Amino acid sequence: DAMVIQNPRYQVTQFGKPVTLSCSQTLNHNVMYWYQQKSSQAPKLLFHYYDKDFNNEADTPDNFQSRRPNTSFCFLDIRSPGLGDAAMYLCATSRDSFLAGYNEQFFGPGTRLTVL
Amino acid sequence: TQLLEQSPQFLSIQEGENLTVYCNSSSVFSSLQWYRQEPGEGPVLLVTVVTGGEVKKLKRLTFQFGDARKDSSLHITAAQPGDTGLYLCAALLIQGAQKLVFGQGTRLTINP
């Protein structure tokens, strides 16, 4: 089945120790997104890639970086995690919304990050 | 200020009751989506509404898009414990690019 896969599902890191979360998709979608979601809140968009074009949200801290080496894979790098970065990190994909007329997003199961 | 306002934010009802969740804005949307998210999982798309006044049904769930495309509602008939979850509305703004704007969510609990 076509899907969005995130690894690991649970990640524990230490304060200040860099961590990388990964996302892969078999949907062949142009657009990939990274969201941060804290308990009982809506997902907050960090950035997205439209093909290889990187689009950062204005309020995304510099501590968060992303890489998309090919269509299928996207990585979220947190350079120096703080306690406030503990959250669920969601990856999502969509087809080109301009062509589709709307932007249905397909989410992975998320990676829950704990910072000690 | 939240662009998409969902109400109520929390709702706990008994199995078999009916309920309605609302998603409102002062902005016009080109489309609106409803997602359900279960604990520890990512959101799953339930429906997309595109046309003003549109009504879509998904088993016991009925979704309506306002005539002016500024608001939407989700009605659940005869709620079941399996309906428990966080319900999120999300909209693609007319002026928007590839981004969805999410409401703050409605946390629904159905008690057996």
By CA distance, what is B104's nearest residue in A?
A42
Q: Which of B31, B35, B97 sits opposite A102 (nearest CB)?
A: B31
- The full set of domains in chain B, from first to last, is 5-111 (2.60.40.10)
| Distance of residue B111 Cα from the nearest chain A Cα, in angstroms | 19
Distance CA A113, CA A14 (A): 10
A88 CB-contact burial (10 Å; exposed 0-12 / middle 13-18 / buried 19+): buried
Q: Tell me what pLDDT residue A101 has.
A: 59
Is A40 close to B107, i.e. CB distance below 8 A?
Answer: yes
Write out pLDDT tens, residues B63-110.
999 999 999 999 999 999 999 999 999 987 655 556 788 999 999 999
Is A102 close to B33, i.e. CB distance below 8 A?
Answer: yes
Residues of B with Cβ-Cβ distance to A110 under 8 angstroms? 40-42
Residues of A with Cβ-Cβ distance to B40 under 8 angstroms? 109-110, 112
Is B99 close to A45, i.e. CB distance below 8 A?
Answer: yes
Write out pLDDT tens, residues A59-84.
999 999 999 999 999 999 999 999 99
Write out pLDDT tens, residues A29-69.
999 999 999 987 889 999 999 899 998 988 999 999 999 99
Beta sheet of A4-7, edge-to-edge order: A4-7, A19-25, A73-78, A64-67
If interface means Cβ-Cβ distance under 8 Å, which residues of chain A face chain B? 4, 6, 31, 40-43, 45, 48, 50, 55, 90, 92, 94, 97, 101-110, 112
User: pLDDT averaged over chain B?
Assistant: 91
Arithmetic mean of pLDDT, B38-62: 93
The domain total for chain A is: 1
Is A105 close to B45, i.e. CB distance below 8 A?
Answer: yes
Name B36's bridge partners: B44, B87
For every residue of A25-57, DSSP letters joined together read ESS--SEEEEEEE-TTS--EEEEEEETTEEEE-
Examine residue B43 and say whether the peptide bond preceding it is cis (omega within 30 degrees of 0).
Answer: no
Domain that holds residue A54: 4-115
Is B42 close to A109, i.e. CB distance below 8 A?
Answer: yes
Give the B window 35-94 contacts with A, CB below 8 Å: 35, 40-45, 48, 50, 86, 88, 90, 92
Residues of A with Cβ-Cβ distance to B98 under 8 angstroms? 31, 48, 50, 55, 94, 97, 103
Distance CA B109, CA A52 (A): 41
Identify the three-state secondary structure at position A100: helix
**Residue B50 CB neighbour total at 10 angstroms:** 16
CATH of the domain at A99: 2.60.40.10
